[in-house]
Amino acid sequence: MIRELKSGLTLFQAVQRIRRERQIGNLRKSQDRGVSALLAAAAVESHERVLDLGMAGRTAGLGLNAAGIHFVGSDLREVRCCEKTIRRMALDNACAWLEVSPAVLTGPCFDVVLFAPARWEAKARVFELIDAAFGKLAIHGRFLLAGRRNAGVESYRRRLKAVFGRVETTLSKSGFRVYRSSRSAAETGAHPVDAAHVFDVDDIPGGPYTFEASSGVFSSRGLDPGTRILIETLDVKSGDRVLDLGCGYGAIGIAAARRALEVQLLDTNLLAVRCARRNIARNGVANARVALSDGFEAAPGRTFDLILCNAPTHEGAETARQFVQGAARHLKSKGRFAVVAMRPGLYLRQMKRVFGAVDQLESRQGYTVLFARDAKSAVTAA
């Protein structure tokens, strides 16, 4: 507590931070128990091939004594983390694939699928992955799914039953569940889930627009208030080179491209990048490009007149620090940086430290737009 107060936080803020840290610690312990329970229920044998769809964004099966372990994920950072673990552990039976679906994998079918969806994962996206994994399972292969009752696991159980015809509970303890199904038929018993959404937006600057978004990409069913407020607040000039950081399906970058010289869109999720690419073509935007990128890495040495971001506040302080410091490095002289956030305090503190002066351009519906100008000297001092 003394350390927290010395950092400049109020007593209330210090207490809140400690509570959040304890909650995160408890969640991680729960996830570790979940991994153990999932692997115990799977009872993987040395001759079997394993498809690992992740444990709340982490790998679950690495280190198993199995003939092969294939991790599939659509987030660049998760796949790189998996690759790093494979190298560190010198595993010769494991590999990681950056793909939106296991359906694209070739080779023999799998004997076991392991999956514990992240707490924030969209339901239709989970259903889509269950369906795809069914098609990659060998006959009599088994699907193990884990999760908490308050995080949608019961709806996943119902999908398993619809797809496989039968599901059993292998663990039920303290709100945590592990379910198991086996493939006994060549065809699934469920209709394919519709995980793609197309919607029109004609009441924001530069409209009308038509967007397509897949479940699993943020706000896939329509324009979220934060994105709308940032687009409505933008002062984009015709000669601007713009960066949309964490672009999702591309709404902010595409709206900016209708007024700017050129726009670069970046996102760490392959699913989002593919949606943004289709939306650029769908909206006839010729001056925008999208790339898969962890932060700013796909724009090395480039600088921009305007950097925009619908902040992923759920990713915490480290991501906020990287985004703000990266924005300062990639701004041209007199360049501008605008962030919209539901809980702006995290970004406001970072922006004040790096840029000095920060303005609040707009605040409504629980969202705030923060704005700062280039301050290279402040970055050097930091």
Give me 23's structure tokens.
């909650």
Higher-pLDDT residue of 61 and 255 is 255
The single residue listed with the structure tokens 């989970």 is 126
CATH topology of domain 196-381: Rossmann fold (3.40.50)
pLDDT of residue 261: 97
If you search the block for the tokens 């038509």, which residue do you land on?
210
Q: Is the pLDDT of residue 5 over 90?
A: no
Residue ranges per structural domain of the chain:
2-182, 196-381
The residue ranking higher by pLDDT, 193 or 281, is 281
pLDDT band at 314 (very low <50, low <70, confident <90, very high): confident
Task: Pull the structure tokens for residue 6.
Answer: 């010395």
Look at residue 275 in the predicted model and tell me its pLDDT. 98
Same fold, 2-182 and 196-381: yes
Per-residue pLDDT reduced to its tens digit, 93-138: 999 999 999 999 999 999 999 999 988 889 999 999 999 999 999 9
Q: What is the spatial distance between Cα 47 and Cα 65, in angstroms, rounded to a whole number?
A: 8
What is the pTM for the complete model shown? 0.87
Please report the pLDDT score of residue 334 as a whole number.
Answer: 92
Query: Mind listing the pLDDT tens digit for each residue in 251-302?
Result: 999 999 999 999 999 999 999 999 999 999 999 999 999 999 999 999 999 9
What kind of fold does domain 2-182 have according to CATH? Rossmann fold (3.40.50)
User: 3-state DSSP call for residue 258?
Assistant: coil
| CA 327 to each of CA 304, 305, 342, 350: distance values in angstroms, whole numbers, following the listed order | 9, 11, 19, 11
Q: What CA–CA distance (Å, rounded) separates 55 from 147? A: 9
